[in-house]
Amino acid sequence: MIDSNETCFIFDVDGTLSEPRQKVKQDHKDFFINWAKDKQCFIATGSDFIKVREQIDIDMLNCFKKIYCCMGNEVRNPDGFITRQNHFIVPDDLNLDLENFIRHSLFEYRTGRHLEIRTGMVNFSIVGRNATQEQRKEYYEWDKNIGERLKMASFINDMYPYLEASVGGSISIDIIKKGCDKGQVVHHLQGSGAEKIVFVGDKCFPGGNDYGIIRELKNTSMKFDWYNVSSPNETYKLIKENNIFSEE
């Protein structure tokens, strides 16, 4: 149960609690476990639960009351038990458009596994999810200059008014049914009695996959604060130094 008198802290994973697809650093984990022992914490990620478990050890995962995976389309407890699921089938026309993106991208190579079906969403990557960490960084730096992911997301949003696409992680875009983004986490917590939410993510801008939370927070009557970070180091520094994370 949620204590309405206590703040609900929501954290993204990739780029926020850990580097994309990397384990949380040991010193960060130790600090977080100590800080979170008397807090109400939740995860909101575009990743599936398998990836969350690869990045966050169970002793830290137990700090969270709920794990909202796949943009909030799958809800689990720390043990992995599923409490809620949405479903999504990729339209044939969208599959053709994604294939065209792969064919016409100017990035120099592909590693495979471009499409990953997750609960209630699809994750799409030009370089592919088989990319090494170095290849991921190479694509990320290239995309920062080219803006390929934002262009692909904008195309999908224009062509498919019943879908929403946003930039996620370091190499991909997330595609969902309209209204099934991370914003649903806010309404789920509000329905459970939450009165104040603090959110930390690395893609809180319009077009980023954390933006749904910001949008819905602004549409509620709840008290809230949100922070856009550029790295896990910034997240843990924020928790240490910002008084809002130590309020009783």
Looking up residue 109, the CATH number of its domain turns out to be 3.30.1240.20
Report which of 199, 217, 221, 137 is spatially closest to residue 13, judged by C-alpha positions.
Answer: 199
Question: What is the distance between the alpha carbons of residues 160 and 165, in angstroms, rounded to a whole number?
Answer: 9
User: Where in the sequence is the domain holding 226, given as residue range(s)?
Assistant: 8-85+182-245
3 in any annotated domain: no
Question: What is the distance between the alpha carbons of residues 140 and 239, in angstroms, rounded to a whole number?
Answer: 27
100 in any annotated domain: yes
Q: What values do phi and psi take at 176, rounded to 5?
A: -140, 170
Is the same domain home to 96 and 173? yes
Q: What is the DSSP letter of 185?
A: H
238 in any annotated domain: yes
**CB atoms inside a 10 Å sphere around CB 6:** 15
218 in any annotated domain: yes
- What is the chain's Cα-based Rg? 18
2 in any annotated domain: no
Is the same domain home to 138 and 201? no
Q: What is the largest CA-CA distance in the chain?
A: 54
Ranges under pLDDT 50 in the chain: none
Is the same domain home to 161 and 204? no
Report which of 12, 5, 9, 71 is spatially closest to residue 36, judged by C-alpha positions.
Answer: 9
Q: What is the pLDDT of residue 248?
A: 52
Is the same domain home to 54 and 23? yes
Q: What is the pLDDT of residue 62?
A: 95
Q: What is the pLDDT of residue 78?
A: 87
Q: What is the pLDDT of residue 2?
A: 81
- Strand positions, DSSP E, 45-87: 64-69, 74-76, 82-85
Q: Which of 177, 200, 222 marks a domain boundary? A: 177
Question: What is the distance between the alpha carbons of residues 67 and 82, in angstroms, rounded to a whole number?
Answer: 10
pTM for the predicted model, two decimal places:
0.82
Order of all β-strands in the sheet with 64-69: 82-85, 74-76, 64-69, 40-44, 8-11, 196-201, 223-228
